Structure 1
Amino acid sequence: MVRLEHEVLQSVLKPARYTGGEWNAVIKDHAAVDCTWALALPDVYEVGMSNLGLAILYEVLNRREDIAAERVYAPWTDMEEEMRKRKMPLFSLETKTEISAFDFVGFSLQYEMIYTNVLNMLDLAGIPLFAKDRGEAMPFVVGGGPCVYNVEPIADFFDFFIVGEGEEAIVEVSDAFMAWKREGRPGGRKGFLQRLLDVPGIYVPSFYEPEYDEEGNYRALRPLVEAAKPVIYKRVIRDMDDAISVEHPVVPYMDIVHNRIMLELFRGCSRGCRFCQAGICYRPARERTEENLRKMARGLVDATGYDEMSLTSLSSADYSCLGRLVDDLMADFRDEKVSFSLPSLRIDSFSIDLAHKMQQVRKSGLTFAPEAGTQRLRDVINKGVTEENLMKACGAAFRQGWKQVKLYFMMGLPTETDEDVIGIAELAKKVVDLYTEIKGKRGCKVTISVACFVPKPYTPFQWFGQLPIEEFQRRQQLLKEHITDRAITFNYHDA
């Protein structure tokens, strides 16, 4: 167990990132359980605590009396400096146990930019970076999350991966581990990994060998043992009403990125945007029933005391009973001043009416995602949204009292030209002018947020190369030059 000295906490910017002890955190005696998991998101506490997937796995594992699951996130640079100076190993939040003492360290791989954090966290924990170098007493390092669909670049650092949705698979892995442990750990680490080949959705890199052609191009992945499947199919939760969700979310002592209840309406997406990996990897769309969602919402408010709830999904406005659900939730919580929000709105007047209804408690800005500045490019990416849709939606919003609109775009999409980039500025200007036309005065604030397009595996755009940094920077500058109205704020990612 790691002792967290007062002088360490006093020398870092946000000590609450490391102290643990939050409301609904689960603390178990490791000596009284048969399997321990350190669930890690390789990013800072505020981001890790906002991840619904890890929160679900935390609940799933801790419901079992024979399993303990604890949380660990990447320390910020000030804390890392203190830890390295004092030779303090990476520890869990619940019991301050060294991460190297757990049976499993499970990393949720949400995006490629955090791969280096995984290695840094392993180093801080004193766990060898490469799977082949880990001894018998070391934890098994597991990967999950959206990046696992294209995991070969980092396969050597992980003992195995869970491909697809993990709620059922993680329990099957734990049961296989406990059975192997009871039998005296036959065959050592390799013996356990061999057992996992019988669990659907598990990829063990050490049982495969990549093959390349004469020019060095990757050709195939060849199984080295008979039990290793040539094709690994993702795990899918078939019935969302039957699936365990978060009932007792851990409530932080500090502000986090999504500091509210997240109510997951459904998984998957019925749209076919050509850039979107999540829309493809989380197929098919599976909804929860309205009755179940109301019951979940009641339990979550009672368990946390939050007064804000986000109705989350990849495209929440596509939930089939959304209008009725919102009416019922607002009636259920009318006397408790609970506000509801949708993370993304469809660009139509139904969404505006819904947002107006939902934001009676507190009115925030509206967010739309046209993704591209011209209709030609929106058609290329199969966005299914027209400029007329956006103007109608914004017009309805302005008439109902909104003054702030945020628009999300991507830069560097396949076939994009300078005309498409300039189209982003022109579209934002049209929204500002529409407000002036409707209200007869200025006063609108439009924020355009522009991300750099990253081609994602398994999408129709996976073989399009990413733009060079210099070209991203040139296009960002071009867009900046064409934004002349002070009502428009331009946010963009560091190329």
Structure 2
Amino acid sequence: MHFPEYADGMWPLLSDVKRPSRYAGCEFGSLPPKEDSGGLVRVCLAFPDVYEIGMSYLGFQILYFLVKGLPWADAERAYCPWTDLEGLLREKGMPLASMESGRPLDRFDVVGFTLQYELSYTNILTMLDLGGIPLLAEDRGEDAPLVAAGGPGALAPEPLAPFVDFFCVGEGEELLPEALKILSETKGRPRRDRLEALARVEGIYVPSLVDCDFVPGGGTAFRSTGAALPVRRRIVDSLDGAFYPDMLLVPSGGIVHDRVPMELFRGCTRGCRFCQAGMVTRPVRERSVKTVVEKTLSLVEKTGWEEVGLLSLASCDYSGISPVIRELSAALAPKNVKISLPSLRMDAFSVHLAAEMESMRRGGVTFAPEAGTQRLRNVINKGVSDEDFTQCLETAFSKGWDRVKLYFMMGLPTETPEDLEGILDLAERALSIGKSRGKKAQVALSVAGFVPKAHTPFQWEPQAGVDELRSAGRFLKGKLASRHGGKNSRVSLKYHEPEQTFLEGVFARGDRRLAPALLEAWRTGARFDGWSETFSLPRWMEAFEKTGIDPAEFTARRRAADEGLPWDHIDAGVSKAFLLRERERALGELVSPDCRPLGGMEGAPCRACGVQDRCPVLGKGGASRD
């Protein structure tokens, strides 16, 4: 079913918005909505950011075609309109609707949001409101859609709990078909009954069935009123056996990552203590070389894209990376299709690998040392030594690159001024290495504020405040100017705005008490908080004050090891005992080895992180518990 009245009203508005291509649709590969049937569950996949970001997210593409292939469900999509179109929709009294058919959001059975970034949370309220759906779950009647949410944000869901009917905790290929099957079988039954049925599914969290108690001075306790706790993250056991689309949506306009995305593997065992993604996506599961090559070549042929991105948290850790690049290069080079590796390790092997790909030699090369001194890299368990740094840069410059970008963090636990100055020392070393190789090297430094995320060894640590982060950024700027002042400096530095880092930390580490502040900030105009041109910290501070919230309570306080955390009811896989052990090793500046037998690490000890019952390395006898 199509809604021509929406299209008739929408098209005239596009001449008055910033980027009409965000709303035009007409993508190659999109599928028409299914015909109505009694048990069909209509799902709107909602991405709380602009189209060009949402369309670049592989998970969104996977879920779209996954749901399309289910006989009991159908999928359409919606993205958050930019502020210009939001204003026009409100002025004209038009609802936010799906791209495929123009169906208003309140006419779906389920509206499911992808939670990729905490600073997109106000956009969820914008989309619900424009779609005619009551913002608070308790205000929704029997005819309102069920509001779902999944993705990384579902692992620390409490700030959004009052707005969401159910969270999907884990990987969608495993969890979503089962959840939608239950919704199909219970269609027409009371809302409460359907949520209780969902709560019996492993990986589904229904906030209305769980009460929270807040301990004076800090701490959260959860009481179930009809759901099993903790909610255990669902994972796909085999990527070769998991769903992966045979086709992709190809946008009609430019997007951030305009390419065929091919996921090599999930998970990471390097154990960087700051990295939530590396902790919560365990265990490592790889696609076979045969599957990667066949699916990639098929998707290139079907979509017409001229670039392939080989994706994972650390693509060079893929055990089949060399044969994959060799086979794909042989097949794609004659068609002028580029291959890119979005993530490179700081070692000579990764640089040699990148140098073999002509497309990656045209621009600069990017690495992430994360910290400026060996001491602090040991604290965060970043497996990069001074020798690695030197060899990596020597290889990069010898292979023809003359521009290097280096990513760092500021505000890390135990950080000192010497650690910050070490960032500039590494930049100077990079310049010196480039000069020794006959290059007029350019080094770009990018420094972001650190947020201690849930389910990591640093989840108990305080977060550096706005003033502290700003002071660190100015310290770096001042030191850089004194060392490399002038217009012709070959070192540049940018640092992330500390106000946004602060707000990210509040919602990454917060609980349900934040919901009224989120609602208040949205009502007073908070939109696209991850975008510097629309972000306003004063607006947020006013919202916190009006709702009686001290945001520093969630960021500035070191939490006790035995304190109940706002995400303790979510089992992400890694155990709290493991995280506490890694925290102690961090404070002792001790490095923990990679437990995956790669690169001569056969027999590396298992770190007993908590996913042993799901770990394919242990299952193959490749490691033993320590």
Helix, strand or coil: the match of 2:30?
coil
Q: In 2, are the aligned partners of 1:338 and 1:361 still within 8 Å (CA)? A: no
1:17 alignment partner AA: R
Q: Deviations over 1:8-57 (max 9, x none)?
A: 11001111101111001122145257111111111111111111111111
> Does the alignment pair 1:22 with 2:23?
no
1:453 matched residue in structure 2: 450
Distance in 1 separating the partners of 2:10 and 2:145: 26
1:168 matched residue in structure 2: 174
> Does the alignment pair 1:198 with 2:200?
yes
- How many residues of Structure 1 are paired with residues of Structure 2 in the alignment? 486
1:235 matched residue in structure 2: 234
2:490 matched residue in structure 1: 487
2:472 alignment partner AA: R
Alpha-carbon distance change, 419 to 362 in structure 1, aligned in 2, over 3 angstroms: closer
User: Which 10-residue stretch deviates more, 96-105 or 63-72?
Assistant: 63-72
1:256 alignment partner AA: I
* Alpha-carbon offset, residue 127 of structure 1: 0.9
2:59 alignment partner AA: G
> Does the alignment pair 1:462 with 2:467?
no
Q: In 1, are the aligned partners of 2:70 and 2:177 still within 8 Å (CA)? A: no
Q: Deviations over 1:344-365 (max 9, x none)?
A: 1111111111001122586222
Distance in 2 separating the partners of 1:402 and 1:278: 30
Distance in 2 separating the partners of 1:295 and 1:272: 31
Q: In 1, are the aligned partners of 2:394 and 2:434 still within 8 Å (CA)? A: yes
Distance in 2 separating the partners of 1:114 and 1:412: 23
Higher RCO by CA contacts (8 Å cutoff, separation 6 or greater) = 2
Equivalent residue in structure 1 for 2:103, among 97, 107, 118: 97
Helix, strand or coil: the match of 1:25?
coil
Helix, strand or coil: the match of 1:68?
strand
> Does the alignment pair 1:319 with 2:318?
yes
Alpha-carbon distance change, 92 to 360 in structure 1, aligned in 2, over 3 angstroms: closer
Q: Percent of aligned pairs with the same residue?
A: 45
2:394 matched residue in structure 1: 395
Q: In 1, are the aligned partners of 2:113 and 2:124 still within 8 Å (CA)? A: yes
> Does the alignment pair 1:269 with 2:268?
yes
2:32 alignment partner AA: I
Distance in 1 separating the partners of 2:458 and 2:344: 24
Normalising by structure 2, we get a TM-score of 0.76
> Does the alignment pair 1:59 with 2:62?
no
1:304 matched residue in structure 2: 303
Normalising by structure 1, we get a TM-score of 0.95
Mapping of 1:131-146 within 5 angstroms?
Answer: 131-146=137-152
2:338 alignment partner AA: S
* Alpha-carbon offset, residue 224 of structure 1: 0.9
Helix, strand or coil: the match of 2:112?
strand
* Alpha-carbon offset, residue 366 of structure 1: 1.0
Distance in 2 separating the partners of 1:463 and 1:247: 43
* Alpha-carbon offset, residue 204 of structure 1: 0.5
2:27 alignment partner AA: E
Distance in 1 separating the partners of 2:96 and 2:255: 21
2:23 alignment partner AA: Y
Distance in 2 separating the partners of 1:341 and 1:396: 18
1:38 matched residue in structure 2: 44
2:225 matched residue in structure 1: 224
Q: In 2, are the aligned partners of 1:339 and 1:362 still within 8 Å (CA)? A: no
Could you tell me which runs of 5 or more consecutive residues in structure 2 were left unpaired when the two chains were aligned: 499-626
Distance in 1 separating the partners of 2:360 and 2:307: 10
> Does the alignment pair 1:351 with 2:355?
no
User: Which 10-residue stretch deviates more, 112-121 or 158-167?
Assistant: 112-121
Q: Deviations over 1:89-140 (max 9, x none)?
A: 1111111110111111111101211111111211111211110100111110
* Alpha-carbon offset, residue 212 of structure 1: 3.1
C-alpha RMSD over aligned residues: 1.4
Helix, strand or coil: the match of 1:333?
helix
Helix, strand or coil: the match of 1:19?
coil
2:331 alignment partner AA: D
1:149 matched residue in structure 2: 155
Distance in 1 separating the partners of 2:435 and 2:102: 57
Equivalent residue in structure 2 for 1:9, among 5, 10, 14: 14
User: Which 10-residue stretch deviates more, 158-167 or 22-31?
Assistant: 22-31
2:284 matched residue in structure 1: 285
Q: Deviations over 1:361-388 (max 9, x none)?
A: 8622211110011111101000010122
Q: In 2, are the aligned partners of 1:347 and 1:389 still within 8 Å (CA)? A: yes
Distance in 2 separating the partners of 1:16 and 1:429: 43
Q: In 1, are the aligned partners of 2:340 and 2:360 still within 8 Å (CA)? A: no
Q: In 2, are the aligned partners of 1:247 and 1:300 still within 8 Å (CA)? A: yes
Distance in 1 separating the partners of 2:382 and 2:206: 37
Equivalent residue in structure 1 for 2:470, among 444, 454, 473: 473
Alpha-carbon distance change, 360 to 196 in structure 1, aligned in 2, over 3 angstroms: closer
Q: In 2, are the aligned partners of 1:130 and 1:156 still within 8 Å (CA)? A: yes
Distance in 2 separating the partners of 1:457 and 1:449: 24
* Alpha-carbon offset, residue 488 of structure 1: 1.4
Distance in 2 separating the partners of 1:68 and 1:85: 31
Q: Which runs of 4+ in 1 moved over 6 A?
A: none
Helix, strand or coil: the match of 1:242?
coil
2:214 matched residue in structure 1: 212
Q: In 2, are the aligned partners of 1:240 and 1:287 still within 8 Å (CA)? A: yes
Distance in 1 separating the partners of 2:359 and 2:185: 54
Distance in 2 separating the partners of 1:375 and 1:479: 18
> Does the alignment pair 1:180 with 2:183?
no
Q: In 1, are the aligned partners of 2:26 and 2:252 still within 8 Å (CA)? A: no
Helix, strand or coil: the match of 1:123?
helix
Distance in 2 separating the partners of 1:143 and 1:71: 14
* Alpha-carbon offset, residue 391 of structure 1: 1.6
Distance in 2 separating the partners of 1:72 and 1:5: 14
Distance in 2 separating the partners of 1:365 and 1:63: 41
2:163 alignment partner AA: F
2:121 matched residue in structure 1: 115
Distance in 1 separating the partners of 2:157 and 2:73: 27
Helix, strand or coil: the match of 1:37?
strand
1:451 alignment partner AA: A
1:494 alignment partner AA: E
1:379 matched residue in structure 2: 378
User: Which 10-residue stretch deviates more, 67-76 or 216-225?
Assistant: 216-225
Helix, strand or coil: the match of 1:239?
coil
* Alpha-carbon offset, residue 65 of structure 1: 4.0
Distance in 1 separating the partners of 2:91 and 2:442: 47
Q: In 1, are the aligned partners of 2:72 and 2:180 still within 8 Å (CA)? A: no
Distance in 1 separating the partners of 2:407 and 2:10: 44
Distance in 2 separating the partners of 1:64 and 1:241: 19
Q: In 2, are the aligned partners of 1:275 and 1:381 still within 8 Å (CA)? A: yes
2:582 matched residue in structure 1: none
Could you tell me which runs of 5 or more consecutive residues in structure 1 were left unpaired when the two chains were aligned: none
Helix, strand or coil: the match of 1:31?
coil
Distance in 2 separating the partners of 1:168 and 1:406: 37
Equivalent residue in structure 2 for 1:106, among 112, 137, 146: 112
Helix, strand or coil: the match of 1:390?
helix
